[in-house]
Structure 1
Amino acid sequence: MATTEGFCADGFEPVRDALEKQLESGEELGASICVTVDGEPVVDIWGGHTDQDRTTPWTEDTIVNVFSITKTMTALSALLLVDRGLLDLDEKVAHYWPEFAANGKADIEIRHLLSHTSGVSGWERPMELADIYDHDSAVARLASQAPWWEPGTASGYHALNYGHLVGEVIRRIDGRTLGRFFADELAGPLGADFHIGTGPEYFARIAPLVPPPAVEFDMATLDQDSILVKTLTCPLLDYERTSDPEWRQAEIGAVNGHGNARSIARLQSIVSGGGVLDGKTWLSPDTVDAIFRQQADGIDLGILTPLRFGIGYGLPHAQTAPAVPDGRVCWWAGVGGSFVVNDLDRGITFAYAMNRMAPGLIGSDRADAYLGAAFGAVA
């Protein structure tokens, strides 16, 4: 059996067993899992390797690109401003960012950005991946274009531009970029090794991603003007580019956060703790309640998957995320399998980060196995 490092509190050994089983089978290359209860870690384990030749061990301090888990950090940053009375979820985006009112977007509200219901789920063509590294240019283009559907009527996953939209609002209010605000107000104070915009000093600790097998389909058969195609191809996310220094250092608050399970769980324990962590109130009860204001429930227009969205997070969905428990729970996943769940009923945060990507857009069999073991231990 493959071995892992770190610790599991009594009763949580099935989580370690599940990770060791996946490592032994070869399904998992390298990964970390962390579970907190009332803000305190009860599982903090890691194992495997950072390279496909299995010559470099995954260590306590290994970090990895966790894709859309980054969105939960962007949302948490916005919720801090909500709690301070500087951002109103029901205010128009253009109140903070006047240029955004162009082309029929004057009535889009902040809650629409945070719940993927704004109608602006991507950029108009032409748009290359490198173009999103230039925040000023990318947000100017978003401000000038029209929504692709009636805002507020449905979700359309803001796959790559979520952090540009929410981050620009944060910058208009606070003056700092999203990555700087997040580092100064959250990651730094909490000692969390998570970065939106990852400097070269961290590169040696980053585990390169192993992309999933390519999905073979004929793009020509798809409606090129559909919300699905425009959302996922304007621009197209190229996994091979995620090792480029330019990708790592850009502040892409939708998809290029780098961290590990420990840092994810540390930060998101603010939410599972009802806004309180380490004896400090980070978010008031009213702000935490706002997360659970359902904004959409149905087939998402951007990825054609059934989803429920609150403010900044997904809400439990038996079909799309069967391993996520019901109740006062919010969650999200990164493409390839990374996962975070905040269970406020039980004060639990679960976090998982890995480098071998599984196929599909949301979750994986591996993530479900670890979730099942973690929540089974507290059932």
Structure 2
Amino acid sequence: MPAIHRHLATDIQRLLDQAVTEGVAPAASCAVVLGGEALPTLTSGQAGEGTFFDLASVTKLFTTATMLSLVDGGVLELDAPIGKWLPAYSHGAKAGVTLRHLLTHTSGLPSEWRGWESALREGRSFDRILLIDELLGTALEAAPGTRFEYSCAGFNTAMALAEHVTGRPWAALVNDRVLSRLGTGAITGTPDPALCAPTELQPELGRGLVRGIVHDEAAWSLGGLSGNAGMFATAAGLAVFGEALRTGLDGILSPELAAEMWRSQLPEVLGTNFNPADPGFGHGLGLRINQQPWMGSAGSEARGHGGFTGTSLLVDKARGVVIALLTNRVSPSRDGDDATGLRKAVSDVVYSGGNDHN
């Protein structure tokens, strides 16, 4: 290993160990790719190289790639009203919602759909068909294309759209159109629980210690892998996807749509409603851009996504950098450190140590 990589690995290992020691998370793992060269995966605490972590909202990147592959195949259109296919979106203000709106969080939908709560409160078992119908009945809070509001509900609506149009289960679509083309078995929506880092202890929901089952309650109620959450991966596995993103998702998306995923969208989508100070960072299709503070001071051109469970994927084409950082910071409780400081520290170290790999 080159000396610069040894120094980098030492610095990252120190940060992971410090995070575990200080109680940020009981398990942590990091995989870095510089200029196309994968460094050895680093782990700390209750994690090994083969440990799978709940990716939480990093799942949205896989959702985006899946949806765009349907656009590539002529099954969907990026800028057509989704009411063309979904009856629930064929009238009223919802008739203006497009797939581009859903993938840029500009649809006007609320941030969350919490239909699972009423099912639990009323003692009903989760009926996915009924829950999807309820999801699709969610009212808009704003007109499409007039505001940015991060929306898990929007990404689950995209999932429902894909299932409705294709007649196929979401997990099968994601597997066929994205996962099977990555050449790694280290990303999955159905992990072996024995290989997974645990997440939250949720006795109040009748779940106990959640392990190998999606932590996000909305995705849980919808059966697992969903539009907003539910993917699991090892750090090395997620880095494979990150490198595919960096190099254009060859074999998954056309060059045109891969570039569209990367391109900053908000100024165009929001038009006169665009305010550079809100949300304070850019957004492509699914990809967050220069999201401070976790992408680091040198990550102004980086794209990626974070996850509530303490996960993140950073990809920087210009600098040739991929960072897959996975923790289970919600175990056994979500009330501690949100791992933002760890993510930023790792990003800063990688950028400072990877300057020779542009």
State the TM-score bracket (shorter-chain normalisation).
0.7 to 0.9
Show the counterpart of 2:142. Answer: 149
Show the counterpart of 2:252. Answer: 282
Would the alpha carbon gap of residues 335 and 47 (structure 1) be closer, same or farther in structure 2, given more than 3 Å must change? Answer: same
- CA distance in 2 between counterparts of 1:148 and 1:307 reads 22
Would the alpha carbon gap of residues 169 and 320 (structure 1) be closer, same or farther in structure 2, given more than 3 Å must change? Answer: same
- CA distance in 2 between counterparts of 1:254 and 1:240 reads 22
Show the counterpart of 2:88. Answer: 99
- CA distance in 2 between counterparts of 1:239 and 1:261 reads 26
Offset of residue 191 of structure 1: 1.7
Contact 1:72 1:312 in 2 (8 A): yes
Would the alpha carbon gap of residues 134 and 71 (structure 1) be closer, same or farther in structure 2, given more than 3 Å must change? Answer: farther
1:108 aligned residue (97, 102, 123): 97
1:273 aligned residue (247, 253, 267): 247
DSSP 3-state at the match of 2:56: coil
Show the counterpart of 1:228. Answer: none
Show the counterpart of 2:188. Answer: 195
> Per residue, is there more helix in 1 or in 2?
2
Deviations along 1:57-82, whole A, 9 cap, x unmatched? x2222112221111111112112223
Percent of residue pairs identical: 21
Would the alpha carbon gap of residues 145 and 127 (structure 1) be closer, same or farther in structure 2, given more than 3 Å must change? Answer: same
Contact 2:65 2:252 in 1 (8 A): no
Show the counterpart of 1:344. Answer: 317
Offset of residue 168 of structure 1: 1.7
Contact 1:39 1:266 in 2 (8 A): no
Show the counterpart of 2:169. Answer: 177
Offset of residue 240 of structure 1: 6.2
Show the counterpart of 2:44. Answer: 47
Offset of residue 177 of structure 1: 2.1
Show the counterpart of 1:263. Answer: 237
Alignment size in residue pairs: 329
Matches within 5 A, 1:1-379: 9-10=5-6, 12-13=8-9, 14-49=11-46, 58-121=47-110, 122-123=112-113, 127-128=117-118, 134-159=127-152, 161-189=153-181, 190-196=183-189, 198=190, 202-210=192-200, 242-243=210-211, 247=220, 250-276=224-250, 281-291=251-261, 292-295=263-266, 306-318=280-292, 321-323=295-297, 325-327=299-301, 329-357=302-330, 364-379=340-355
Contact 2:264 2:282 in 1 (8 A): no
Deviates more, 1:167-176 or 1:368-377: 167-176
Show the counterpart of 1:216. Answer: none
- CA distance in 2 between counterparts of 1:361 and 1:103 reads 42
Show the counterpart of 1:218. Answer: none
Offset of residue 21 of structure 1: 3.3
DSSP 3-state at the match of 1:179: helix
Would the alpha carbon gap of residues 84 and 108 (structure 1) be closer, same or farther in structure 2, given more than 3 Å must change? Answer: same
Contact 2:296 2:347 in 1 (8 A): no
TM-score, normalization by structure 2: 0.78
Deviations along 1:200-253, whole A, 9 cap, x unmatched? xx1111211257xxxxxxxxxxxxxxxxxxxxxxxx999967448583952333
- CA distance in 1 between counterparts of 2:249 and 2:93 reads 36
Contact 1:306 1:320 in 2 (8 A): no
Q: CA RMSD in A?
A: 3.5
TM-score, normalization by structure 1: 0.75
Would the alpha carbon gap of residues 63 and 326 (structure 1) be closer, same or farther in structure 2, given more than 3 Å must change? Answer: same
Structure 1 unaligned residues grouped into runs of 5+? 1-7, 50-57, 212-235
